[in-house]
Structure 1
Amino acid sequence: MAVTVETLDKLERRITLSLPAEVLKNEVDARLKKLARTVKADGFRPGKVPMNVVAQRYGYSVQYEVMNDKLGEAFSQAAAEANLRVAGQPRISEKEGDAPEGQVQFDATFEVYPEVKVGDLATVEVERVNADVNDAAIDRTVEILRKQRRTFNQRPAAEGAAEGDRVTIDFEGKIDGVPFEGGKAEGFQFLVGEGQMLEAFEKAVRGMKAGESKTFPLQFPEDYHGKDVAGKEADFLVTLNKVESQNLPEVNEEFIKTLGLADGSVDALRADIQKNLAREVKFRVAARNKAAALDGILKVAEFDVPKSLVEAESARLVENARNDLKARGIKDADKAPIPAEMFAPQAERRVRLGLIVGELVKANNLQAKPEQLQAHIQELAQSYEQPAQVVAWYMSDRQRMAEVEAVVIEANVTDFILSQAKVTDKSVSFEELMGQNEQA
């Protein structure tokens, strides 16, 4: 019998599902009989519990289970017969009014996928960036490696704290004479000149000697992460307990070999850094150009987005946020009151892009090819000490391979958009690409 589909809104539909009452009853009876073979009850041997006892204990849950299964089957069959592409899960409720004799009826309300129409890609304007690894970037990385292996020696008592020193301090801040949360610490360490503290705080500590105390005013920025103190002025009392100067290792054979390079030469070190930075630059350039291409495609594709998909994506983002809090050691992170609404714009954008990407892939044969998957995994593995093990790790798990496939497909879509769009090429510095600045 033909399925009648009622249109409620742009993407919302409703169909009526009819189930024979006798079929439901027979299935419930069959499952209860099967359950009776193993169910246990006081006063009865296993398998000898009377059916009326089994039905009394488990009848409701079995009926619920059967109803869910049969409604799911009926909905899937009806959607297939009507050639509907269902988005999300249907909302099923008992149909109002009298049902035909021997039948129970339910309304299934759901959304369908929209028809995604992508406009003329030739009108899309995209800025494509490129970047190179220069000597300055390599020098900067060498300095980072040196700092990662630096040691500290206590300064003589007569010497004050200077740039690069590690200081140990006690401090207490007050606003209008009242202490505030997070404004007090003892035995607190930071490195002078590395941006770990506000500039005004570091300026006050510079030149202080061990055992000295100082009181100074500090103006918190308007955009300070601590909203309770943002934009306010505090008075700080700081006592400097210890000053330690840093010692950076020399870039010699001994130092280079500690980095895992058997050669031990400066040329080998710089070549290895250049290779690793080039790989990172490639990934970051690809990510930035992908974002630019997808931002552009959003402007020429208009369609309604299923609310159910946005809600599901918002819920997923909330779960990710809770997992992130949990990973940071936040207590009761799984119960954190994170409203899904705050992720709604991000969720809608993701869903919209997903639908556009899917349409472009289908229309232009942009699926990931086996050789592309293999090449991407090989490239990822090169940054590890045992590349072959990393390749095997990816290849052995379907979920990880699905993630790789998604990345390759997005790269294919990006390349396709760039091949059709109005592209402006722009060279950016290594520092800009990596999100660095001169003071970092």
Structure 2
Amino acid sequence: MNVTVESTGALERRMRVELPIEPIQQQVDSRLKAVGRTAKIKGFRPGKVPPKVVKQRYGKQVREEVLGEVLQKSYSEAVVQQKLTPAAGPKIETEDEDGKTFAYVATFEVMPEVELKNLDKIKVEKPDVQIGDEDIDDMIAKLRAQKATWSSVDRKSKDGDQVIVDFNGELDGEAFPGGQGSEIAVILGEGQMLPDFEKGLKGIKAGDEKTFKVRFPKDYHAEDLAGKKADFSIKTHRVEEQALPELNDEFAEMFNVTEGGLDRLLQDVRENMEREAAQKVKNDIREQVLDALLANNPIDIPKSLQNQEAHSLQHEAMQRMGIEDHAMAPPIETFSEAAEKRVRLGLLLRRVIADNDLKADEALIRGRVEEMCDSYENSAEMVEMYMSNPQVLQQVEPMVVEQLAVDWLLANGKVKDKKISFKDYMNAPAS
């Protein structure tokens, strides 16, 4: 077997394989003899069909089968011989036979050689989240609002009130989708509706009818309404005032706190806030580490892997959106950038994991499963169910190993703590 390899791009290779035809022809002849022993052809007894007739009837098919097997076997041997690692299947082009050799050209992409650099330059800002009494008070206020009751009042509406209205919106005298509503409850001052609309609901009483103009923001999601003014007419059914429950043991019972009363509820609230903040910190640190790893280690990636990942992301999006018809799926180009990032990260993390022999043991896997099941009432039962399910463990193990890689990078990088209040941290816009 004669093999030559040509680099036609950063990762693309053009490999020509040339094989002597004689051994291939011997395989074809041997297989035709085997076929002749069992062939059933009209006019001949089984096993007595002349070789010439067998060749006429089955020669082309047998030759194609043998060449396919030879090609597959020789391709596998050639990439091993040349120490190549294909990223995906090759594109094969066979050359015309000259009677002495069988030759083909395989074009494919190879996996990049990943050499990690600048790992000590990974810098992470770790949020040190401060939960103060004010944060607890804000959370309790939200819980009280969840259990609030509403009662009708005979006065003009103001911030904090709930108004129940019918509304009808028109643009240039024509109704538009989403511009109508019946007995819609709006709490004033909470920003549920557009500013102009909410402004039009202030100072109204039960039975009032009025019209006003509402300007839609320039970046409004409905392009045909963005930046335009619409006319809205409303009819007021009720103005309601909020009554908050008292802060006592009975209030705690509303949240299934059966022992310890209000003090226990306050403790639970703080612990939940600590867990919520800790999870967000963990996610933020992971994102910073991975972004730094990418920035410090630019690598070429096989387009074939990027395309595979883009199709995978498209399929995930279709499932989330409940789309079955592929023609209705978001364009594949939509996922190209995210797919590229995923593939780059996957290759870099694989190198980190291999270089440091990172492995997930049962204790780490169980710990991750316990985190996943923490929100279930029967969490202990769910943990055991997941731990006995090989499919679940197969999904969890890569997650654990990836976290080990992130932890290793974090330990070898530079971490700087930054104090921040719970409110500012949790309300910060997503990056």
* TM-score, normalisation: structure 2: 0.80
Partner residue of 1:237 out of 229, 233, 237 = 233
Code of the residue aligned with 1:143 in structure 2: it is A
Matched, 1:90 2:86: no
Checking the alignment, whether the CA contact within 8 Å between 1:114 and 1:305 is kept in structure 2 is yes
Q: Is the 8 A contact 1:90 1:108 kept in 2?
A: no
Query: Does 2:252 match 1:256?
Result: yes
CA distance 1:178–1:426, change in 2 (3 Å):
same
Per-residue Cα deviation, 1:94-137 (whole angstroms, up to 9, x for no partner)? 4242375796x654432111011222223333322221333333
Alignment partner of 2:221: what SS?
coil
Match of 1:311 in 2: 307
8 Å contact 1:214–1:239 — kept in the other structure? yes
CA-to-partner distance for each residue in 1:133-167, whole Å, 9 max, x for gaps? 333333333333333333333x14x3233334433
Structure 1 runs not aligned, ≥5 long: 32-60
My pick for the range that moved more, 177-186 or 93-102, is 93-102
Distance 1:134 1:21 in 2: 83
Report if aligned partners of 2:165, 2:234 keep a CA contact under 8 Å in 1: yes
- Cα–Cα, structure 1 residues 118 and 252, in superposed 2: closer, same or farther, change >3 Å? same
Measured after TM superposition, the shift of residue 289 of structure 1 is 0.8
CA distance in 1, matches of 2:29, 2:143: 72
Partner of 1:196: 192
CA 1:70 to 1:288, structure 2 compared with 1: closer, same or farther past 3 Å? farther
Q: In the alignment, residue 390 of structure 2 is paired with which amino acid?
A: R
Q: Percent identity?
A: 35
Q: Say whether 1:395 aligns with 2:387.
A: yes
Is there any run of 5+ residues in structure 2 with no aligned partner, and where? 36-60
Match of 2:361, as an amino acid?
Answer: K
Match status 1:341 vs 2:333 = yes
Tell me how far apart the structure 1 counterparts of residues 62 and 205 of structure 2 sit (CA, whole Å): 77
- Judged with a 3 Å threshold, the aligned counterparts in structure 2 of structure 1 residues 170 and 77 are, in CA distance, closer, same or farther, namely farther
Residue 75 of structure 1: how far off its partner (Å): 4.5
Pick which of 362-371 and 93-102 moved more: 93-102
Write the letter of the residue equivalent to 1:412: L
Distance 1:115 1:262, change over 3 A: same
Q: 1:394: Cα distance to partner?
A: 2.7
1:66 is displaced (CA, Å) by 10
CA distance in 2, matches of 1:168, 1:65: 76
Tell me which of 217, 236, 241 is aligned to 2:213. 217
Residues 114 and 252 (structure 1), Cα distance of their counterparts in 2 relative to 1, 3 Å cut: same
Distance 1:194 1:265, change over 3 A: same
Output one character per residue of 1:213-271: Cα deviation in whole Å (capped at 9) or x when no partner. 22112222222222221222222222222333333333333332342322051111111
* Structure 2 match to 1:299: 295
Q: CA contact under 8 A between 1:132 and 1:278: conserved in structure 2?
A: no
Quick check: 380-389 or 352-361, which moved more?
380-389
Aligned residue in 2 for 1:49: none
**Distance in 1 (alpha carbons) for counterparts of 2:239 and 2:413:** 58
Shift of 1:362: 1.3
Cα distance change, pair 271–391 in 1 and its aligned pair in 2 (3 A): same
* Cα separation, partners in 2 of 1:96 and 1:211, compared to 1, 3 Å: farther
Does structure 2 conserve the Cα–Cα contact (< 8 Å) formed by 1:127 and 1:423?
yes
Deviations 1:178-216 (A, max 9, x none): 433322233333333322211221121122122212211
- Residues 1:21 and 1:109: Cα distance change in structure 2 (over 3 Å): farther
Map 1:280-291 to 2 at 5 A.
Answer: 280-291=276-287
How many residue pairs are counted as aligned between the two chains? 404
Q: State the alpha-carbon separation in 2 of the partners of residues 75 and 423 from structure 1.
A: 48
Q: How far did 1:25 drift?
A: 11
C-alpha change, 1:65 and 1:336, in structure 2 (3 Å) is farther
Paired residues of 1:11 and 1:304 also in contact (CA < 8 A) = yes
Give the distance between the partners of 1:168 and 1:66, measured in 2 at CA. 78
Q: Supply the RMSD in Å over aligned alpha carbons.
A: 3.7
What is the letter of the counterpart of residue 350 of structure 1?
R
Structure 1 residues 417, 102: closer, same or farther in 2, change over 3 A? closer
Q: 2:147 aligns with which of 132, 146, 149?
A: 149
Q: CA deviation at 1:23?
A: 6.3
C-alpha separation in 2, matches of 1:28 and 1:169: 85
In structure 2, relative to structure 1, the CA distance for the partners of 1:357 and 1:161 (3 Å cut) is: same
One-letter code of the match for 1:268?
R
> What is the 5 A alignment of 1:26-37?
none
Cα pair 1:90 1:110 within 8 Å, conserved: yes
Q: Mark the CA change 1:361 to 1:211 in structure 2 (over 3 Å): closer, same or farther.
A: same
**CA distances 1:386-425 after superposition (whole Å, capped 9, x unpaired):** 2212212331333432443333333322332233333332
Return the index of the structure with the highest Cα Rg. 2
Of 299-308 and 416-425, deviating more is 416-425
Distance 1:114 1:245, change over 3 A: same
Q: Bigger CA drift: 303-312 or 116-125?
A: 116-125
Say yes or no: does 1:358 pair with 2:385: no
User: Does the residue aligned with 2:296 lie in a helix, a strand or coil?
Assistant: coil
Q: Residue 16 of structure 1: CA displacement? A: 5.3
**Quick one: distance in 2 between partners of 1:29 and 1:179?**
80
Q: Which amino acid aligns with 1:110?
A: F
Amino acid at match of 1:132: Q
CA contact (8 A) 2:250 2:261 kept: no
Displacement of 1:383 in angstroms is: 3.0
Is the contact made by 2:314 and 2:329 (CA closer than 8 Å) also made in structure 1?
no
Give, in angstroms, the shift of residue 310 of structure 1: 1.0
Conserved? CA contact 2:386–2:393, under 8 Å = yes
Tell me if structure 1 keeps the 8 A contact 2:27–2:66: no
Seen in structure 2, the aligned counterparts of structure 1 residues 23 and 283 have a Cα distance that, compared at 3 Å, is farther
Q: Identify the residue that residue 431 of structure 1 maps to in structure 2.
A: 423
* Structure 1 counterpart of 2:189, one-letter code: G
Residue equivalent to 2:49: none
